[in-house]
Amino acid sequence: MALASSNLAEAKAPRASDLEIVALNGMFDERDTLGVIRYALEELLPGEPLAVVSSFGADSAVLLHHIAQVDPHKEVLFLETGKHFAETLEYVETIKQRFGLTNIRFLEPDAADLKRFDPHGTLWDTDPDSCCHIRKTEPLKGALDQYAGWITGRRRHQTQERGVLPHFELTSDVRIKVNPLAYWTYEDVKAYKAEHDLPEHPLVQHGYRSIGCAPCTSATREGEDPRAGRWRGLNKAECGIHFDFNGQIASPAAKLENRTLFKSGRFIADPFHVWGEGDAPETSAYVHVPLAIWQENRDAFIAADHPIGLLIEPGDDFEAIAEDFDRFASIAVAFPKFTDGRGYSYARLLRERYGFTGELRATGDILTDQVPFLRRCGFDALTVTNEATKKALENDALAEVSVYLQPVGSRGEAPVGTRPFLRRADQ
Amino acid sequence: MYRYDEFDAAFVRQRTEQFADQVRRRISGELNEDQFRPLRLMNGLYLQLHAYMLRVAVPYGTLSSKQLRRLAEIARKYDRGYGHFTTRQNIQFNWPRLNDVPKILAELADVEMHAIQTSGNCIRNVTTDQFAGAAADEIIDPRPIAEIIRQWSSLHPEFTFLPRKFKIAITGAPQDRAAVKFHDIGLMAKTGPNGEIGWTVYVGGGLGRTPMVAKQIRDFVDHEHLLAYLEAILRVYNRYGRRDNKYKARIKILVHEAGIDTIRDQVEEEFAAMKDGILKLPQEELDRITAYFAAPAFKEVEQKTIDLPKLKITDPAFARFIERNTHPHFRDGYVSVTVSMKPIGGTPGDATDIQMEAIADLAEKYSFDELRVSHEQNLVLPHVALDDLRAVYEGLVDIDLAEGNTGLITDIISCPGLDYCALATARSIPIAKSISQKFSAPERQEQIGDLKIKISGCINACGHHHVGHIGILGLDRKGVENYQITVGGDASEDAAVGSILGAGIAGDDVPDAIEKLVDLYIEKRESADETFIAAFRRLGEAPFKEALYGTR
Ligand code: SF4
Ligand code: SF4
């Protein structure tokens, strides 16, 4: 293993220049998925193949179905971490049969690494970051080295920071990323699955929404969690590995009881960390960057183009960087003391004035009683350390006032619980 | 009067349950006192010297007979048989048990009352003119807008953790009976350029350690945009108000330090951004709320005037009552009656369960079921026909609350002071009582005329001593109570903060000191028509100082 990451950056420089790549966007009709794939596989870089990586998760079938139509013999990479659900492996087989895919390549962890770092197979429990590194990051790096880029299943509608996702991108490490499903909505996916009777991942019917390695995926059944959907706008946790392939590879997870990120009605693994020692604008990803650090290193961050977040402390003049807000996948607003309510105003400004649609999370000293206020001001994620608050959230025991006597601007709120004059259609 | 719709009812019920849960968590130890404090405070529950104190909101001072009866019942069942009306038009119970508080709140919810936001760093109960909707001099009844502000501010998600508490007062009459310039935001009705009615907005007033008269921030805002404008102010305050020092956290300090012009610019910028957003108040909604406050069905009255000179001979006490305790009503043949909760030698603002029930009966019979709490700690029957005045008076005589002393020297505002308050540095109620006794003779009070004495038991100034014509502030000097006297304060539209006359004096000497000031005034006044405060303005503080301390 041990491919230095600089190798990756220097890897195959695409033969096409930036401009040519960018110019490709617009060549294809938004929904011409097959056209995009065909072009990517056959014409874009003749003799320089692009990789297809799939997690064979809940959302993978649509892309694979298209790939199979263009070229059933195309190599499809699958990270066989050794920790998958049996159902996932079964699903790989089903897809293979049904779509007639002939070349699915399992990327396995380096045996020596496993022996050395994870002899008992329990590394996920003690150090999930390292486990992911051995089982995902390294094998993937090795495989991708042979490619000039890859085809992803990412969609604009999946998570908010992808709002402007094009068909063709040149990434910071000068690889080409092709996103044939960029314009697909969730409804499109559903309709397509139904129309073509695509097989579902067996665990979907058991309520799993995002499926990764077994130890790190927790079951959440549909309909079981009345709070789901309250944290609007977020489907699931982002992939925690640096590559950000298709958002479907499971994220590294902290031990369940250590999970502090509450989102979509449950505690999930937090892909983000707070900026600290060892972080650098060029290399760090999934980090909440303090405002001042962002301001000092803005160019470097933008050049690196990793998914990052912003950290706003009370008193920060965050509006000074308003034009950058949509660069952040997540904005964390700190509540160092729960009695300091400045963050509520910040949240409303971010949401209502600046139209920020990414993850907005409250971090710090949060009491259960504040959760409804936070949510109404536009927060859709919380990092909770207060034990009592954690317990209440886990047990769905928030005593809440569901009727509002005044509107705030969060989307979708006005019609439900507000005064008669405010019960008007959502704008 | 406003009536809850299903929304308000659900709101208060859920809030009550939420608080019951918080109390449960406190009792079980899940919450420690530090965590519980801000939560209980948001629900009006204080920890006082001897016990918890529960403060119940009387929205803009408006009560129905049924509600007052319920308050009486709670006083009897869960307290020691009395309640205390405050300078914020609220009522406090001084002895509830923590365990009982959820029950009390549930019983309050039955009659559309609650304790939400009567304390804590949030927007407090909005206060207004106690004669709102009745006064002859009113431009507009402020209660519909007060109700709309109440709704807007109730559990506002953005503004429940402000730097400090936030008080809004509103008056619809040019004669300011709501002390709007001593509130964080003061709203004063104004006729706009096209004859429409709107509001002049003042900001940054307050008493406490650093008394300040509010500054005008906007000359005119119409009903439609009022909520957006208020939200803009609150947002600027929430973002920029000081949080490093609780004594500098009120908006008055922000306005003072940043300057009104800066604050105005910031507010205007916010306002411009959200002016036409979701907070724009449609006329239909204003009409809908206003309909709740329609004037009662007045009856044709026989008596249009009262022959006061004659009464003064035949029944001087009743005549005094009429002269002092009635206020002109917009409807001929009607008056608003102030029930003075300041019987001679009594505790200002205290009412027993029996008194509350009797007053509720009078309101039901003679005032269309309506009652008001004034910020001067009195109760008001807003719509009483002259025909019924005697019956009301006699009803009050029966419960010893017929003192005709409204606005006189014995109509003293006093905070609870060392008798109840954990923050107090001196007693204030006993001082009020001793002054009241000293000037108990009605003739003497009448001779002195309008004179407002206000007493606080510490620099937090809950007794509004800064704006008393004579203000008394109880301090602690090396373990001895010591009272500082100020003169010349005024809470009305001619807002002014009183000046300190000199070194503090002993509690026992306070009544005599007041007498010296009063005697000086009587000696120097141009005629009996020149009030104490008018004379003070003409004379300046020097002669008063001299009267109190002699020449040096
Ligand atoms: S997801 Fe979990 S099991 Fe899979 S590689 Fe990462 S830490 Fe290991
Ligand atoms: S002025 Fe001081 S003593 Fe009086 S009630 Fe307020 S805090 Fe207590």
Q: Where do you find CATH 3.20.20 in chain A? A: 257-411
Chain A nearest-CA distance from B165, in A, is 12
User: Quick one: average pLDDT of A137-144?
Assistant: 84
- Residue A255 confidence (pLDDT) above 60: no
Q: Is the pLDDT of residue A427 over 50?
A: no
Instruction: Give the range among A43-47, B95-99, B466-470 with minimum mean pLDDT.
Output: A43-47
- Using the predicted structure, report yes or no on whether residue A239 has a pLDDT greater than 50: no
**Mean pLDDT, range B129-144, rounded to an integer:** 95
CA gap A127, A136 in Å, rounded? 14
- Residue A221 is predicted with a pLDDT of 37
**Sequence letter at residue B546:** E
A&B contacts, CB < 8 Å? 109
In this structure, are residues B436 and B344 in contact, taking their beta carbons and an 8 Å threshold?
yes
Q: Which residues of A touch B158 (CB under 8 A)?
A: 341, 344-345, 348, 373, 377, 408
Amino acid identity, position B422: A
Active-site residue set of A: 239
C-alpha to C-alpha distance for B428 and A286, rounded to whole angstroms? 60
Closest ligand to the CA of B471: 2
Contact list in B for residue A348 (CB cut-off 8 A) is 158, 235
Of the two residues B195 and A420, the one the predictor is more confident about is B195
> For ligand 1, is residue A84 a contact (CB within 6 Å)?
no
Q: A270 C-alpha vs ligand 1 centroid, how far in Å?
A: 13
Q: Cα of A85 to ligand 1 centre, how many Å?
A: 12
Identify whether the C-beta of residue B338 lies closer than 8 Å to the C-beta of residue B327: yes
Nearest to A343 by CA among A313, A375, A302, A318: A313
φ/ψ of B403, rounded to 5, equals -60, 125
Q: How far is A386 from chain B (nearest CA, A)?
A: 11
Token duo for residue A388: 């009592």
Q: Where in chain A is the domain with CATH 3.40.50.620?
A: 18-229
Ligand 1 contact via A83 beta carbon (within 6 Å): yes
pLDDT at A206: 67
Alpha carbon nearest to ligand 2 atom 5, residue: B415
pLDDT at A252 over 80: no
Kindly indicate the confidence band of residue A6, based on its pLDDT and cuts at 50, 70 and 90.
very low
- Average pLDDT of A171-191? 81
The identity of residue A219, as a single letter, is A
CA torsion through residues B444, B427, B488, B405, sign: negative
Angle at B41 between CA B45 and CA B88, to 5 degrees: 75
Which of A312, A317, A319, A339 to substitute to test the interface with B, most B CBs within 10 Å? Answer: A339
What's the angle, vertex CA A11, arms to CA A5 and CA A13, rounded to 5?
140
Q: Is there a contact between B470 and B483 (Cβ–Cβ < 8 Å)?
A: no
- Tokens 């500054």 belong to B215
Residues 6+ apart with CB under 8 A from A155: A162, A165, A179, A181, A182, A183, A184, A185, A186, A189
Residue A31 pLDDT greater than 60, yes or no: yes
For the cut 60, the answer to whether the pLDDT of residue B378 exceeds it is: yes
Between CA A350 and CA A332 the distance in angstroms is 11
B57–chain A Cβ distance below 8 A for any pair: no
Ligand closest to B427 (CA) is 2
Chain B residue with the nearest C-alpha to that of A338: B161
Q: For residue B433, give both structure tokens.
A: 């009582």
> Is the Cβ atom of A53 under 6 angstroms away from ligand 1?
no
The alpha carbon of B107 and the centre of ligand 2 are apart by a number of angstroms equal to 28
Amino acid B49: pLDDT? 73
**Sheet with strand B82-85: strands edge to edge:** B45-47, B52-56, B91-93, B82-85, B350-352
CA distance B161 to B158: 8
Q: At what angle do helices B251-258 and B260-274 cross, to 10 degrees?
A: 110
Contacts of B281 in chain A (CB under 8 A): 421
Buried (b) or exposed (e) across B428-459, using 16+ Cβ within 10 A? bbbbbbbbbebbbebeebbebbebbbbbbbbb
Ligand 1 touching residue A131 (CB < 6 A): yes
Structure tokens belonging to residue A264 = 């979509």
Contact in structure between A230 and A381 (CB atoms under 8 Å): no
State ipTM.
0.89
Ligand 1 close to Cβ of residue A124 (< 6 A): yes
pLDDT band at residue A209 using 50, 70 and 90 as cut-offs? low
Q: Counting ligands in written order, which one lies closest to the CA of residue A271?
A: 1
Options 3.90.1280, 2.130.10, 3.20.20, 3.40.50; CATH for A257-411 is 3.20.20
The confidence score (pLDDT) of residue B456 equals 95
φ/ψ of B117, rounded to 5, equals 60, 35
Question: In this structure, which long-range contacts are made by residues B327-331, counting pairs with CB atoms below 8 Å and at least 24 apart in sequence?
Answer: B327/B131, B327/B134, B327/B135, B328/B135, B328/B136, B328/B137, B329/B134, B329/B135, B329/B136, B329/B382, B329/B383, B330/B134, B330/B135, B330/B136, B330/B138, B331/B295, B331/B298, B331/B383
Residue A12, class by beta-carbon neighbours within 10 Å (0-12 exposed, 13-18 middle, 19+ buried)? middle
C-alpha of residue A281 to centroid of ligand 1, in Å = 26
Residues sharing a CB contact under 8 Å with residue B248, sequence separation 6 or more, in sequence order? B242
Q: Which long-range contacts (CB under 8 A, 24 or more apart) does B258-265 make?
A: B260/B203, B260/B204, B260/B215, B260/B217, B263/B203, B263/B204, B263/B217, B263/B236, B264/B217, B264/B218
Q: Is A347 in the pocket of ligand 1 (CB under 6 A)?
A: no
Alpha carbons B548 and B487: distance in angstroms, whole number: 11
Whether chain A has a CB inside 8 Å of the CB on B8: the answer is yes
For position A258, what pLDDT does the model report? 62
Instruction: Say how far apart CA B43 and CA B479 lie, in whole Å.
Output: 34
Please tell me chain A's helix, strand, coil percentages from 3-state DSSP, rounded to the nearest 5: 35, 15, 50
Residue B137 near residue B328, CB atoms below 8 Å: yes
DSSP-assigned states of every residue in A248-300: -SPPP---GGG--EEETTEEE----EE--TT--TTT--SEEEEHHHHHHTHHH
Alpha-carbon span B222 to B224, nearest angstrom: 5
- Nearest by CB to residue A409, choosing from B8, B239, B277, is B277
Strand order in the sheet with A330-335: A266-268, A261-263, A381-384, A359-364, A330-335, A309-312, A287-290, A273-274
Is the distance from the beta carbon of residue A281 to the nearest atom of ligand 1 less than 6 Å? no
By Cβ distance, the residue of B158, B161, B288 closest to A339 is: B161
Q: Are B321 and B335 in contact (CB under 8 A)?
A: no
Residue A150 phi/psi, 5° resolution?
A: -150, 165
pLDDT digits (tens, 9 = 90+) for B297-356: 999 888 788 888 999 899 999 999 999 999 999 999 999 999 999 999 888 889 999 999
Q: A415: distance to nearest CA of chain B, Å?
A: 12
pLDDT tens profile B518-551: 999 999 999 999 999 999 999 999 999 999 998 6
Q: Kindly indicate whether the domain formed by B6-110 is annotated with CATH number 3.40.50.720.
A: no
CB A88 less than 6 A from any atom of ligand 1: no
Reading the block at residue A137, the tokens are 């990051």
Ranges of CATH 3.90.480.20 domains, chain B:
6-110, 308-397
Q: B427 vs chain A: nearest CA distance in angstroms?
A: 32
Cβ–ligand 1 contact at A132 (below 6 Å): yes
Tell me the CA–centroid distance for residue B456 and ligand 2, in Å.
6
Inform me whether the C-beta atom of residue B243 falls under 8 Å from chain A C-beta atoms: yes
Rounded percentage of chain A residues whose pLDDT exceeds 90: 22
Q: Is the pLDDT of residue A247 over 50?
A: no
Q: Residues B134-291: name the CATH superfamily.
A: Sulfite Reductase Hemoprotein, domain 1 (3.30.413.10)
Q: Does A371 touch chain B (CB under 8 A)?
A: no
Structure tokens at A62: 């649509």
Look up tokens 């079938």; give the residue.
A61
Query: Alpha helices, DSSP H only, in B283-422?
Result: 283-292, 308-314, 316-325, 353-366, 389-398
Contact (CB, 8 A) for B47 and B54: no
- Taking each continuous run of H as one helix and of E as one strand, the counts in chain B are 18, 20
A7-16, A72-81, B210-219, range with the lowest pLDDT: A7-16
The most distant pair of C-alpha atoms in chain B lies apart, rounded to whole Å, by 68
Q: Looking at chain B, how many residues does it have?
A: 552
Would you identify the CATH topology of the domain B413-549?
A: Sulfite Reductase Hemoprotein; domain 1 (3.30.413)
pLDDT at A422: 54
Tell which atom from ligand 1 comes closest to the C-alpha of A212: 1
Given a cut of 50, whether residue A425 has pLDDT beyond it is no
Greatest CA separation for chain A: 68
| Domain A18-229 part of CATH 3.40.50.620 | yes
The reported pLDDT for the residue numbered A226 is: 25
Interface test with A, best of B158, B162, B245 (most A CBs within 10 A): B158
Rounded to the nearest whole angstrom, what is the distance from the C-alpha of residue B473 to the centroid of ligand 2? Answer: 10
Which of B422, B340, B377, B419 is CA-nearest to residue B86? B377
pLDDT, mean over chain B: 92
pTM here is: 0.73
Q: Can you give the pLDDT at residue A401? A: 72
Q: How far apart are the first and last CA of chain A?
A: 52
Query: Where does B308-397 sit in CATH, by number?
Result: 3.90.480.20
DSSP string, A339-399: T-THHHHHHHIIIIIS---SEEEEEES--GGGHHHHHHTT--EEEE--HHHHHHHHTT---
Overall average pLDDT of the A140-169 stretch? 75
Mutate to test the interface with B, among A351, A419, A423, A426 (most CBs of B within 10 A): A419
pLDDT digits (tens, 9 = 90+) for B47-58: 877 778 899 999
B225-278 pLDDT per residue, tens: 999 999 999 999 999 999 999 889 999 999 999 999 999 999 999 999 988 888
Residue A234 has pLDDT above 60, yes or no: no
Closest ligand to Cα A252: 1
Q: Which atom of ligand 1 is nearest to the CA of A216?
A: 2
Site residues for ligand 2, CB cut-off 6 Å: B 415-417, 421, 423-424, 456-458, 460-463
The whole-number pLDDT of residue B180 equals 94
The reported pLDDT for the residue numbered A149 is 83
Q: What is the residue whose two structure tokens read 């039955």?
A: B110
**Tokens 């000359």 label which residue?**
B219
